[in-house]
Structure 1
Amino acid sequence: MNSLKTLVVWSLIFLWILPVLAQTSSHNSEDSLTLDKSIRTGVLDNGLTYFIKPLQNSNQQITMNFLVKVGSQDEQQHELNFAHHIEHLSFRPSDNFPDGLKNNSKILSQFGMKMYDIYGRTGAGVTRYFYNVPYENEKAINTGLLWFKDIASGLDLNKKSIDRERGVLLQEYRGGVASRAQTTAYNDVHSTLFSVVNSKKSFSSHNRNFPHQDLQKFYNKWYQPQRMAVIIAGNIENTEQLEENIKSIFQELKSSENKVEPKGKEQSNPKREKNFTSVVRNSNGNSAYEFKAVNMYFFYKHKVDKKKDEGLGRLQRQIQGEIVTDILKTRFSESSKIDDRTTIYSSYTPVWNIPRDMLTITINTELQYEKVALENTLYILRQFVEYGITEEEFKNAKDNILETLESYDTSKNRYWVNEIEDYFVNGQALPTNKKEIITNWLSKLSKEEINRLIKEIIKPSPDKMGLIFPEDSESPLISKEKTQEIIKKKAMKKVLPYKPKSEIKRLLSQNQMDSLPIGKKLNAKPGKLDTEIYSLKNGSKLILKPMKSTNSNALTIRGFSPFGASYFPKEEYNSTMFATSIIRSSGVGSYEKKDLKKFYENTQSIKLGFNPYIFSNESGFESEVSIKELDKFLQLLYLYFTKPRKDQAAFENWKKGYLQDARYIINPSKDLIDALKKVTRDSTRLPIASDLVKASQRVNLNVAHRNYQELFGNIGNFTFIVTGDFDSDAVLTAFQKYVGNIPSNSRTICTDKNKAIEIPDGPKYYELSASDLYETENSFYGIRFVHNPPDKKVWQEELKIRVLGQMLNSLIYDLRDKEELSLYTISAGAYFDRRTQRFEVQFRFSCLPEQLPIIREKTNKIIENLKEADISEKVFENQKNRIRSIYTPQALNQPSYIARKLYRYYRFEEPPIASSAIENYLKDLTFKEIIQTAKTYLKPEYMHEVKME
């Protein structure tokens, strides 16, 4: 589902493979292809590797990473999730940090750091630990190094610590209940076909019962210094001193004499692996809302000659492999626009990934269409093999790689950290002149070489096949023999050469363009923040704010009307709220969705299309577009406002789409948010989880289409705000031509534009049932305080309540870190909701049922302690500083923030506040004021609690 751009980014990860030994005594080789000489590196006697990359840039941040070459692919079945378990324990007590480091505000605050600056990630072959310092500070950097050292050898791995984390990991695993059936089936396929993938069927039982000694053994086996690296990049002035500090801190680590090989690099067990499997996906819950999806995975092994797969040979192969998949994806995408029931994807995995050296073809379709989808895919592959790629396809693929390479910002810390990681973990070369090498190799690459590679990889029948079917399926493809029979028959049929689809260069014909007069030149009226205000002939208002910007190519365009779904009868509310989504799926003018998709793909700044919205009390859109493509964008806008399509077939597919995507949409924690919204009478937006899927199936197409036309047809109600670095006359002319010629119905819809929603009285406690679209063993608990703004400056109240929300979020994390409760999904926050015109403070917990009463009691205790000022004032200082770091002078003067201020003024009549006033207010904000804010908004009469099971 990734875009071509993303794929090319990943392709470049694979491009620079050369025969490099990652475990030599020194990486400072004379061979310039090995490692960029601006990187200081070395290997300690115990085998630990370090890399230091000094950078001179305006960003003072120091980025520190600690890598351990171990991940899920190194686990045996009885070691399931051990790498992840250890990553969690790194944030618990350790030798140098008895209270843990991540939530130790006392330590972090003195360095200007936040808990979000420290985190970890467990991958297939590497575990990553991150530590970000806002500026060079030797004590802060050494603290990070000490934490890394603790991860290497000083974690608390006693039975109590290991057992305590079992519940947290179980909560994390249970969080994906809506997609559990699909992920389980996916894991069944891959664990059957590939021996390096473990089955997760017994995850819960294993998590509860594995002997703690097994995890200790796993840690001692894999957490060895020769498998570790420290990476530091940023504005480092004293590189020599930093190098000495690294040596001093890590040299005492002991290395085991026992050499271990990752399971992923061992010889696969042919007796265990199969080359075909079909799996039945269990139902999550209510079958009435289940999409009958069929998923097919076909793997083509690339048999590589190891003698040729060295140096430039391997680099060439990786380039070729990614070019093949990029071109295939384009062809598959064109096929999907014809058959909108099916999407097809391709990927090429390198030697260090799973499945290694494979071209993978993924087909997602609907039950009863799986045979047709398979045959169409096989046809495209046969066509690909028999006729090869075109010169234009080849050129575009190479240009995409070069364009992505050009976009890399080598002044950023993250670029170097990622590149060094690939060097250390994957043996990927990082030469000083990498760009020139790639450019040179690409210039020598020929279309014929790609076509030969296609024939090498794509054989008449895949090497491995895995298929997933819904329950009660009687598909012939469940049978290996019948699937192979279809593949063999299709391989014998004749195919025609590929013909690329024609490109849509513009959306309006010349006759349509000629019928849109620009009209006379308009005079501007002065507006807020030095804006220019124009009244277009159809009654709409245009507000221009030209400003100098570093991103001079981008315009932010926002259009809004203060009227939405609440204007219509109650029974039409649901259909109206979905109307914009339906129009996007149906198309506009003479263009269907598939036509517009092709148009978007051939643009630079409109790839995401045009995305209008309808809320209860507002309709509109917000987009970012380049000046160069402003004309194309406004043509698109013109069609969306004047010619929305009404297509019954597209509507039925739209409804199916919600069922198909349900596993991505539905989430119990999001259901809890919807429940809190419902009990506090907030229906200003669509629900976001189970109720969204159900509501989509109740939509009336006629109502949705009619009300969309009513709202967007009243162009006189719309205000358009444009910010960016542009010439006012050019933008005004374009808006006069397209927006100014949109016909207006000239109706006044209603008068209450910003009416506050009535708030129910509290305190209230609600016990609700979890969604019937999934089964869950968890309990979910939430609190929402709601209160209308007082009769004083809202912007000051908003800043205070944001600080309050951050303080509450910090305090509730103590329930996991200090109270040792089994919590993974927890959050608290506070904000001003402009749709409802009220302040809201919200808490959310996903927990074990037996712990819910304790969580409820302790959360209420936190609230009362805060109101009584019975907490450390340091919590306030830390969170105030966090909010201040968001409202910096630089951020407050960004074009995007200026655009937001203009929107809030012209939409909600909020006067723009000078950035200096915001800075000074936050600077002078006191602990006493926040305590008073807590007393104001955290009153029992504003409180609504929800328990969901």
Structure 2
Amino acid sequence: MMAIKKCISIAMILILKLHTWGLAAQSFPPQVTNDPIPLDNSVRYGTLDNGFTYYIKKTQEPKKEVYMKLAVKAGSFFETRSQEGYAHLLEHVALFNKNPTDFHARVKYQGMIPRAQTGQVVTKYQIVIPDANNEKIALGLNALKSWAAEIKFDQSQVAVQRGAVLGEMRTKNPYQQWLNKKYGEILLQNVEFPIYSKERLVKKLKHFNMGPLKKFYKDWYRPDRQAAIIVGDINLDSIQILIEKNFSDLNNPKNQKDDEDIIKRFAIELKGNNQYVTFKDSIDPGRRLTMFIKEKNHDYNKISKRDFYHMFLQKMVNYIAEKRSQKFQKQYDPPFSNYINRHTTSNGFKEQVVVSAMEVNLDDHPTAIDKKIHAALTAYKSLFSGITDHEVHEARKTLKSEFSMAYNNNVNLAEAYLDNFTQGSAVPSTKTQTELYDLLSTIKVNEVQEFADKKASLLENKDFIFINIPKNSLPGTKKMIDLFEEVANTPIAFNPPLLNMELSDSILKFSGGSNTKGDASTNLIGVTRVKLTNGIELWLKPSKPRSEVFKNQIEILGFKPLVTGHNNKNIRSKILAHSYASYSGTGGFNKFQVAHYLEAHHLKLHFGTDENDFVIEGTFKEKNLEDFFKLFFLKIEEPDKDTAAFTSWKEKEKALLAIRGGSDFFRGKIKKIWYPDAPSVDKEILDTISRELLLSEYKKHFSDFKNYTFIISGDFTTDLLLKKVQKYFAALPVSKKEDDLPPVSKAFSLRKRNDTIRLERLNQAFAEVYYPVKIKTPVDSKSQVILDIINSGFNEQINKRLRIGSYSPRASGYWLDKKKGIYTFFINFDSELGNEQRMLDYAEEEVMKFQKTGVDQGWLDATINLKLNEYQRDINSFGYFNFWPDYLKNAIKNKENPEDWILQYPSLLKNFISLKEVNEAIQNYLITAYQQTFLILPKETVY
């Protein structure tokens, strides 16, 4: 066994200029020293004889959780011209490394989560093991070694990953990509930082050469540039032995390349110059100014206490400025909009620079441009003027919470050690963390104000980009500087619009007597069902929060069926009225006051619709329960009295009809083809609906909650919560009239079809292929479990093949109409224009192959174990994802007993699913008789 070289501290690898850049002469509190902070001595740190580095840290919580990282000090900056794009490609090839043991598949089926990311100076690989044991830890370290030194350059696998990387470089929004690229080029041009051409990267990847890829691997993937970082519930000695065993035999090449020049290229120095640029935007004709503010990121590469001190000051100032900006922007004609403290262009500077941004609408008469800019700059300066003790206290409280978590969980610790390895960033000991925490407590208002004054200055490191402004209307550089000096010499106080909103207890009116019809009934899975005196049903299901963030959080999901009425216009008016409740204010309060109330009381309240139902969603902490219901009742009883809200809402709804977002932006077009008679909102109804009609529908709609069901889930005790909430739901108005309108009916047609959907502003193709099938009803739990298993296998089959020309192809299945037994499998992928037919052919081949070969026993066993782990996590706890609301809603709508699936699922998976049954189901259910193909292509030449 090789000897271990023990190191006391890590040499700092960045240039002195980078560390000291931006620190103006100033006095510091005595405890704010500039000496490097030693590495936390509780981490076992060392290097092997070959230079391979390791960090091993034992943590107590969560039990059995382990994070593993492999860091390679090489990224896109290390590429030669012939290798551009290859660092990213190599990361993909490594992550899906094809060798006899196929680590990626084995790791996944053990419930471990592999990830990788390529940066400019570092590539990192990660495995998360939620329930570690010796076998999984050994497998994880083998995977790290596979990525570090055992990459197989199989031609076919490299071709697949080239397709995936090219797919990742495509966008669903070419206009936004173009705009961000334009911004990025402008911001980078006065800091002497390399600008990479995406077009050149695409060209290099398409004309691929294996030689330069192998050379990049040989030059930079070597043990003296690599580190293993293991954090979690581990045995330090056994992990160290495994590291020595796995990595001691790795060798460095004889002629090692040096990275000194690369690191120099990587260092940025802001020179203080402003820029004044103009360009034309033919897609968005709006005339506007975008102002960018560049500042050193003091949260990057912190080495000393002085670095942490600057970081605290910067975060306090930015926190206060963003909170203030939100108040400024909560009006219909704000002096600026879209203020953000970390614009996406920050990523172009590799986190060394923080880019803030704001937009100024200049669509007024040209003579008003100077006035609008003056108002915007005055408002900008006020964001940093007259900072108060209370604001510093609130910012300090937020930062204390953030800092206390910085080195307090496995995720953050692993990343901190990675930064220590790659750039020498400090990872302080518990004692030093306490000292830094105390330092944060001592920061005074005048120190924060001094830092804020620097950011408020308009004469340095600001970029002013004028868009669609005629040359004769542009303010010249001298006029801009005159404006800056005028604003600088004028005392400005922060004076935002008033947003406070207090709600009276009188909003909530309750009648006496019992609120329930009969006793509450609780089933075996802990779901309680209650029918109230007004006929509304409540379903309650408590579960555990996954972290402190979700402690005492309660979620409400209410729904009732859409009804057809006498014509679609009637139901569309109701849909719009329901949606308007989310956007508008209420009573005498405008929408901005309502938004402030929601934020101040940590509430969420949303009114919307899905395919078949009106939906009401709410989230609140138990202590804010009454605040939530006060707003809820005011919303349903009193529409807003603000005419500006209606005009603004109408413009927003029209804009949404033309805007795409998300991976399924075209799904609505497919649904319209499937269900042409289903109610939908279009420009015509928005043009014709008046405020009077909308508010009339609003009042009628919310005057009757008949047929509503409410599901309550989250962190609570059922009996106690039921006592608190039943009076609110029992007070909802419910009519006694008989139902005379049927629910919206959507009959799916089982037929073959092939449709092309043309959309504007696309620069690529998309495809969705559906394979609907009629399954015998009623559908039993075992059939549903088998379908769930098939979906996993189908997705893997499609993903492996279609990644050759798509970034994230996927396949799955879902019920189109469970009552009638209509299920559909589907495939979704994106493609380069002109390659879509080849991809469709590949998809068809894989469907045929999957039907013929099915899955094997090893895959089935691994998938069952994975699904059992996911199932336990989903049903027992909640976080950002909560399993119960949608599950219960579907069970209620399909008139199923929710106990059945929950109780039968694990038993069926463990004991009653055979390989023969799964493969027979693949042949019987995944059929092409009614295949429906939808191609989404550009309508016109893209921007």
Question: RMSD in angstroms over aligned alpha carbons?
Answer: 4.2
Counterpart of 1:90 in 2: which secondary structure? helix
SS in 2 for 1:519: coil
Deviations 1:170-206 (A, max 9, x none): 2222233443222222332233233324143634445
Q: 1:899 to 1:269 in 2, by over 3 A?
A: closer
The 5-angstrom pairing of residues 482-521 of structure 1 reads 482-492=479-489, 494-499=490-495, 504=500, 506=502, 508-513=503-508, 516-521=509-514
Residues 554 and 725 of structure 1 are in contact (CA less than 8 Å); yes or no, is this contact kept in structure 2? yes
Is this contact kept in 2: 1:296–1:466, CA < 8 A? yes
Indicate the SS of the match to 1:941: coil
Instruction: Tell me whether 1:462 sits opposite 2:460 in the alignment.
Output: yes
Alignment partner, residue 526 of structure 1 = 520
Which residue pairs with 2:536 in the alignment? 540
Partner of 1:390: 388
Question: Contact between 2:167 and 2:831, CA under 8 Å: does it hold in 1?
Answer: yes
Q: Closer, same or farther in 2 for the Cα pair 1:451/1:828, shift >3 Å? A: same
2:704 aligned to which of 704, 707, 714:
714
- Distance in 1, matches of 2:787 and 2:173, equals 33
Alignment of 1:312-711 (within 5 A): 312-338=305-331, 339-340=333-334, 342-347=337-342, 354=349, 360-368=355-363, 374-383=373-382, 387-406=385-404, 410=408, 412-426=409-423, 427-467=425-465, 469=467, 476-477=473-474, 480-492=477-489, 494-499=490-495, 504=500, 506=502, 508-513=503-508, 516-523=509-516, 524-529=518-523, 536=532, 538-544=534-540, 553-564=551-562, 566-567=564-565, 569-572=567-570, 576-604=574-602, 606=603, 609-645=604-640, 647-657=642-652, 665-666=660-661, 670-681=664-675, 700=689, 702=691, 705-711=695-701
Q: Which residue of 2 aligns with 1:14?
A: none
User: Which is worse superposed, 546-555 or 125-134?
Assistant: 546-555
Q: What CA distance in whole angstroms lies between the structure 2 residues aligned with 1:133 and 1:207?
A: 33
1:920 to 907, 915, 921: 907
What is the CA deviation profile of residues 427-464 of structure 1, one whole-angstrom value per residue up to 9, with x for unaligned ones? 12231235422321122211111122223443241324
Q: State whether structure 2 residue 87 is matched by structure 1 residue 83.
A: yes
**Residues 119, 129 of structure 1: 8 Å contact kept:** yes
Match of 1:807 among 776, 779, 793: 793
Match of 1:596, SS? helix
Quote the Cα distance in structure 1 between the aligned partners of 2:544 and 2:115. 37
Residues 392 and 445 in structure 2, CA contact (< 8 A), matched pair in contact too: yes
Query: Does the CA-based 8 Å contact 2:273-2:460 persist in structure 1?
Result: no
Contact persistence 1:41–1:52 (CA under 8 A):
yes
- The reply on whether 1:759 has 2:758 as its aligned counterpart is no
Distance 1:186 1:45, change over 3 A: farther
Distance in 1, Cα, partners of 2:636 & 2:887: 26
State the alpha-carbon separation in 2 of the partners of residues 681 and 811 from structure 1. 30
The residue number in structure 1 matching 2:920 is 932
> 2:898 is paired with a residue of what secondary structure?
coil
Q: Contact between 2:50 and 2:251, CA under 8 Å: does it hold in 1?
A: yes
Contact 1:784–1:943, Cα closer than 8 Å, also in 2: yes
Q: Deviations over 1:83-109 (max 9, x none)?
A: 322222223546xx268643xx4x447
Per-residue Cα deviation, 1:117-163 (whole angstroms, up to 9, x for no partner): 22211234432212234544555444443443443344356988766
Of 290, 297, 303, which residue of structure 2 is paired with 1:296?
290
Query: Residues 599-626 of structure 1, C-alpha deviation per residue, up to 9 Å, x if partnerless?
Result: 122223x1xx211222343223233321
Instruction: Mark the CA change 1:557 to 1:782 in structure 2 (over 3 Å): closer, same or farther.
Output: closer
CA distance in structure 2 between the aligned counterparts of 1:769 and 1:423, rounded to whole angstroms: 51
Change in 2 beyond 3 A, CA 1:303/1:583 = closer
CA distance in structure 1 between the partners assigned to 2:870 and 2:220 by the alignment: 40
Partners in 2 of 1:133 and 1:631 — Cα distance? 41
Quote the residue 1:228 is aligned against: 226
| Cα distance in 1 for residues equivalent to 2:887 and 2:297 | 59
Partner residue in 1 for 2:23: none
- Quick one: which amino acid aligns to residue 839 of structure 1? Y
- Name whichever of 117-126 and 729-738 sits farther off: 729-738
What is the identity, as a one-letter code, of the residue corresponding to 2:275? F
Q: Which structure 2 residues correspond to residues 112-127 of structure 1 after superposition, within 5 A?
A: 112-113=110-111, 117-127=113-123
Distance across 1 between alignment mates of 2:918 and 2:86:
43
- State the distance in 2 between where 1:350 and 1:711 align: 45
Q: Deviations over 1:625-680 (max 9, x none)?
A: 2110000011121122222336553344335446777998346x524544543443
Q: Which runs of 5+ in 2 are unaligned?
A: 1-7, 15-34, 938-943
TM-score by length of 2: 0.82
Aligned runs of 1:790-939 on 2, under 5 Å?
Answer: 790-816=776-802, 821-833=804-816, 838-848=822-832, 851-869=835-853, 871-888=855-872, 891-894=874-877, 897=883, 902-914=888-900, 915-923=902-910, 924-939=912-927
Distance 1:710 1:639, change over 3 A: same
Secondary structure, aligned partner of 2:899: coil
Q: Secondary structure at the match of 2:580?
A: helix
CA deviation after TM superposition for structure 1 residue 526, in Å: 3.0
Task: Report the AA paired with residue 62 of structure 1.
Answer: V
Distance 2:233 2:677 in 1: 48
Structure 1 unaligned segments of length 5 or more: list them.
Answer: 1-17, 25-30, 687-691
CA distance in structure 1 between the partners assigned to 2:223 and 2:865 by the alignment? 37
8 Å CA contact 1:762–1:940 kept in 2: the answer is: no
TM-score normalized by structure 1?
Answer: 0.82
> What is the alpha-carbon distance in structure 2 between the residues aligned to residue 172 and residue 381 of structure 1?
37
Distance (Å, rounded) in 2 between the aligned partners of 1:123 and 1:565: 52
Question: 2:103 & 2:412 partners in 1: Cα distance?
Answer: 26
For the residue of structure 2 that corresponds to 1:433, the secondary structure is helix
Paired amino acid for 2:381: R
Sort the Cα spacing of 1:177 and 1:349 in 2 relative to 1 into closer, same or farther, 3 A.
Answer: closer
Give, in whole Å, the separation in 1 of the partners of 2:914 and 2:641: 57
In the TM superposition, residue 824 of structure 1 has moved relative to its aligned partner by 1.8
Deviation track 1:226-245 (CA, whole Å, cap 9, x = no partner) reads 432211122323x2232122
Distance 1:216 1:479 in 2: 52
Kindly provide the amino acid, as one letter, of the partner of residue 378 in structure 2.
Y
Q: Any conservation in 2 of the 1:540–1:718 contact (CA below 8 Å)?
A: yes
1:945 to 2:929 alignment: no
Q: Aligned residue for 2:17?
A: none
1:68 maps to which of 65, 69, 72 = 72
The residue number in structure 1 matching 2:26 is none
CA distance in 1 between counterparts of 2:345 and 2:707 reads 55
Kindly state the Cα deviation for residue 257 of structure 1 after the two structures are TM-superposed: 4.2
Asked if structure 2 preserves the Cα contact closer than 8 Å seen for 1:49 and 1:228, the reply is: yes
Identity of aligned residues (%): 19
Contact 1:409/1:415 (<8 A) preserved: yes
2-structure distance, mates of 1:53, 1:303: 28
